[in-house]
Structure 1
Amino acid sequence: MSAESSRSNPPLQATLPISFLIIGGGIAGLACALALRRVGHHVLVLEREDRASARGGSGVRLPPNLSKILFHWGLRDILTSKSSITKRLIFMRYETGEMLGEHIWDVDMLKETRGLFMMLAHSELYDILYEAAIERGARVRYNANVVELDALEATVVLETGEELSADVLVGADGEHGLCRPAVVGENAPGDLTGLALFDTVVPSREVPAYAERITEWHGQFAAFGSGHAIVAYPIHGAEDIAFQFYAPDGGQEGKYGDKPSVDVPSIVDGINPEYGNALPSPNSQCSLTYAVAKFARKAVRVSIRQHRDLDDWVHDDGRLVLIGEAAHPFPPSTIQGTAMAVEDGAVLAKLFSHISEPRQIESFLYAFQELRQERVKAVRQGELGSVLYMTADGEMAAARDAGMRAKAAAGKNVLEGDGDAESIWEEYRVVFGYDCEDEADDWWVQWGMLRERAREREAEGAPPLLDFAAMMAKVEVSSTHDGEEAY
């Protein structure tokens, strides 16, 4: 479907609608609820907070691999009305405000991805998904805190004592929720990296020169420093600017859901004082930092952890599957964390659009795990690498900055590669171009349908089909004299 489309094609409807109980009503839970309702399943979402708390107050970026899913679901028009479309990245040096260069999005590449790179408030994305899910018939209950779950029986118990059940439990309650340890068998908090994200918002009216400049840029900017970094972009139609500071954690821990508690000036460090003008100029990133420190709201501290990849996202003995941050916690406020959560819901729904018998539930859950794990693992490693790249020190930082300066001086995009070297931008191209729903369809055509046909033949007493996995394992590819592959 073209990225210009504002309507979605009617999705395949499951011939056997089943019930899903989604634990966690954040972006992951709502996206999954919407996706499952689109294919005809019954969905109840349980969120332990009230709606105002669940909506959040920060910014969020939607890369093309995410926006194209939402376009496909018919949400292009509402997204476009709420979002800013980013056309470029501006890179600066944190300590001095030196401009390192820029990268302008490749228009043809974005067309190939069938999506756009969008920026908006987390609360706006939340409301869009909530209203679409409700319109489709999903049910969402707030202040519904799950305190016990039984994966084998697919039941949960609320804090009130109420017991609920479904055919499938979906754990979308994040890395600190109840579902992750239920699958893993223990709490898996990850290792502290010594860095934290400090997430805040600055009203544009407080820094009008910079708000105007960001709007003029049609993009977002990033400042790289020794152990520090800043990412900033407009939200609320450029009425506010989302600022995300990376700085040393100082031995304190924090997570999303905590109340804003950190004064921004306390984390601004390492900037040359001569750049801290009382009346900052739009060309000085350092002056901007001081202005932000003066006018920013208190920030939420989120500790950055390095998590191990889970072997299993599906409970061994029951119908409980993890999605989003419960399955794969991402470094906070990186580009792809939200995207991977929405991709999870889209893939799960695509697979379950083919269900016709209860026996298929288990195979679809494991197919979901198989389809998502390698994709998420590679993307998550890249996002953590981006945080370390932005906050690098010493020789690594010097080489990074010198490379950007040289490309900028040559009039090049700073994320382009050098000769045979693979560029960061080429990695983005692959990630942005991925279509998770197509991948789920391919699995069904190549594996799911074959398994169903094999079962039908066995039920009819016909000789079984050759096991597809065994057959493919025996396939040998050789090169012919004309360079073509022969099987």
Structure 2
Amino acid sequence: QGVPDFLPIDFIVIGGGIAGLTASISLSRVGHRVTLLEQKWDFDETQLAGGCRIAPNITRILSRWGLNDELRAITSVGHFVQFVDFVTGECAAKGEWVDDFRIESDGEFLLAHYADFRRLLYDTAVRYGTTVRANARVVKISVTPEHSTVVLECGETLSADVLIGADGSHSISRATILGRKTPIVRKHLNMYNATISIHDMAAEPTLAPLLADKIGIVLSWFGNGCGAIGFQTMRDEYHVQIYLPEDPRTAQLPFPISAVERDTLIASLGKCEPRIKRLAELAQWVLALPVVDIPHLEDPLHDDGPLLVIGEAAHPFPVGSIYTIGLAACDGMMLGRLFSHLRRRRQIPGFLDALAEMRRKRVAQVYEIQLSNPAAMSVPPGVDMEYTDALRAAQGMGDSLAEALTQDVHFCVLQAIREVFAYDPEDEAEDWWVQWGLVHERALAIEDEQPGE
């Protein structure tokens, strides 16, 4: 019997976040059978969610998948970025992003509510044939060379050819890889994700300019050991993510997330420019997320068989980082492209090894860029980056030196676009297939043609 041009297999994906949903779409659309397990049902309206930023390379691939119209309906475009002093409110540098993004990465920097983005991915996964099982909490994972098995809280057992763990940084999938739970080290820093009505902002003379014609201004405040990023979404809401030192006089906030009163945010602000304080006073909804240090997995693939962890389960980044969504989505996108070439079961270990190695290198590269390039938009400059001093110094440099700093920011933006936002995980998967996968496939074909001894 001949080898098929494509061999569909069974995948179980644990976790219905960005990584799990993107992986489900990517695998289902090329023909694999996918079951996604989510421990609760909140796809209609994700609880404890706020604003999020979607990188241009992700928007490009989602558009390639035919989701451009749906994506445009729930997002606004981030056209401009401004770096503003957290204490004085003075603008140290600014620039236009959209033209550079279109030239370098053929995508746009989009701003959305996380719940809307997740719902779009859920609807798309179902449309492509993914079976979604909500209220399906996984309590046990078993891995053998041939397949993986999960046991649900209700006692039901499910098996698949490949198991994908996309259930976050403090999850059963990650614990199964490590053989233990991951310790959490607090950074004594909290991120507050505040939601403000644009109608309330429009009535404020100091805040109304942030909404001018929905031109997509992203503000990045820095300095005084604090930072913030603010932007508007299509929900007629403004979202500001504020990073503040933990107050040693108060109890630590629960990990990973909790809803708090806006008075908690206001009391934590300390010295800040008037617009930040006013945004906090107008906040209708505030989420608090402690910033923690969780190490990346050295190997996201289980030693005993086909269990691969992706997204935050494999490589956690600080809360609010644009890389959290970007890397999670890229993991899933690469997974589907690699497995679109599956013809034999013997290819499965090689595909998983290849993905683990490519993603490990990519995450290391992005992590290095995050530490050195403030325009890469991870957390605001000034929270952990030395670039704060340079930006603040621009305010006293005079026009010529301030202009030079703006040019430096522009250079950093271009570097971030080239090295982070122009990256295409599907292209990398295809490059691997052409350079290595086809060679291995031909070797397997020759092996199959050899007569038995």
Normalising by structure 1, what TM-score?
Answer: 0.82
Q: Would you say 1:428 and 2:417 are equivalent positions?
A: yes
Report which stretch shifted further, 362-371 or 301-310. Answer: 301-310
Matched residue type, 1:446: Q
Residue 417 of structure 1 is matched in structure 2 by 408
The Cα of 1:43 is off from its aligned counterpart by 0.8
Residue 194 of structure 2 aligns with an amino acid whose one-letter code is T
Q: Within 5 Å, which residues of 2 pair with 1:16-55?
A: 16-51=7-42, 54=46
Listed one character per residue, the Cα deviations across residues 234-261 of structure 1 (whole Å, up to 9, x for unaligned) are 0134x10111010113462544554446
In structure 1, what is the equivalent of residue 390 of structure 2?
399
| Structure 1 residue 191 displacement after superposition | 3.1
CA–CA distance in structure 1, aligned partners of residues 367 and 398 of structure 2: 27
**Residues 208-238 of structure 1: per-residue CA shift (max 9 Å, x gap):** 142553344422101112121111100134x
Aligned counterparts, 1:363-382, within 5 A: 363-382=350-369
Shift of 1:56: 4.6
Matches within 5 A, 1:190-269: 190-208=184-202, 209=204, 210-216=207-213, 217-237=215-235, 239-250=236-247, 252-260=252-260, 263-269=264-270
- Paired AA for residue 329 in structure 2: V
Distance 1:405 1:458 in 2: 71
**How many angstroms apart in 2 are the aligned matches of 1:180 and 1:20?**
18
Structure 2 counterpart of 1:134, one-letter code: V
* Contact 2:391/2:405 (8 A) holds in 1: no
Show the counterpart of 1:137: 129
Q: Residue 6 of structure 1 corresponds to which residue in structure 2? A: none
Q: Aligned pair 1:112/2:104, yes or no?
A: yes
Q: How far, CA to CA, are the matches of 1:204 and 1:59 in structure 2? A: 14
> Match of 2:381, SS?
helix
Question: How big is each residue's C-alpha offset from its partner over 1:284-334, in whole Å with a ceiling of 9 and x where there is no partner?
Answer: xx2222212212134222222233332210100021100100010011111
Distance 2:17 2:5 in 1: 25
Matches within 5 A, 1:433-448: 433-448=422-437
SS at match of 1:50: coil
Tell me the residue number matched to 1:340. Answer: 327
Q: Tell me the equivalent position of 1:283.
A: none
- Deviation of the 1:204 alpha carbon: 1.2
Runs of at least 5 residues in structure 2 that lack an aligned partner in the other structure = none
Aligned residues: 432
Which amino acid in the other structure matches residue 135 of structure 1?
R
Farther off after superposition, 53-62 or 325-334: 53-62
1:461–1:359 CA distance, 2 compared to 1 (3 A): closer
Using the alignment, how far apart are the partners of 2:395 and 2:367 within structure 1?
A: 24
Report how far residue 57 of structure 1 moved.
2.4
Q: CA-to-partner distance for each residue in 1:58-112, whole Å, 9 max, x for gaps?
A: 0111111111111111111111122111111011111111121212116154233
Instruction: Return the alpha-carbon distance in structure 2 between the equivalents of residues 80 and 396 of structure 1.
Output: 34
Q: 1:307, 1:329 within 8 Å by CA — same for their partners in 2?
A: yes
Shift of 1:424: 5.2
Task: Determine the C-alpha separation between the residues in 2 that align with 1:69 and 1:404.
Answer: 39
4+ long deviations beyond 6 Å: none
- Following superposition of structure 1 onto structure 2, how do residues 228-377 of structure 1 map, counting pairs within 5 Å? 228-237=226-235, 239-250=236-247, 252-260=252-260, 263-271=264-272, 286-377=273-364
Q: How far, CA to CA, are the matches of 1:57 and 1:365 in structure 2?
A: 32
Q: Distance in 2 between matches of 1:39 and 1:254?
A: 41
Deviates more, 1:16-25 or 1:246-255: 246-255
One of 3, 15, 31 as aligned partner of 2:6: 15
Distance, in Å, in 2 between the alignment partners of 1:64 and 1:441 is 20
SS of equivalent to 2:243 = strand
Q: Distance in 1 between matches of 2:152 and 2:177?
A: 19
1:69 to 61, 68, 75: 61
1:100 equivalent in alignment to 2:92 = yes
Q: Distance in 1 between matches of 2:395 and 2:177?
A: 44
C-alpha separation in 2, matches of 1:360 and 1:374: 21
**Residue 91 of structure 1: aligned partner:** 83
Question: Is the contact between residue 25 and residue 45 of structure 1 (CA under 8 Å) also seen in structure 2?
Answer: yes
C-alpha distance in structure 2 between counterparts of 1:439 and 1:89, whole Å: 29
Alignment partner, residue 174 of structure 2: 180
Deviates more, 1:327-336 or 1:204-213: 204-213
Contact 1:93-1:224 at 8 Å conserved across structures? yes
* 1:120-131 pair list within 5 angstroms: 120-131=112-123
Change (3 A) 1:240 1:142: same
Structure 1, gaps ≥5 residues long: 1-12, 272-285, 463-487
Structure 1 pair 339/396, CA: closer, same or farther in 2 (3 Å)?
A: closer
Q: Does 1:451 align with 2:449?
A: no
Mark the CA change 1:413 to 1:114 in structure 2 (over 3 Å): closer, same or farther.
farther
Larger radius of gyration: 1
For residue 207 of structure 1, give the secondary structure of its aligned residue in structure 2.
helix
Secondary structure, aligned partner of 1:377: helix
Distance in 1 of aligned mates of 2:208 and 2:438: 53
| 1:376 shift after superposition | 1.3
When structure 1 is superposed on structure 2, of 73-82 and 377-386 the one drifting more is 377-386
TM-score scaled to structure 2, two decimals?
A: 0.88
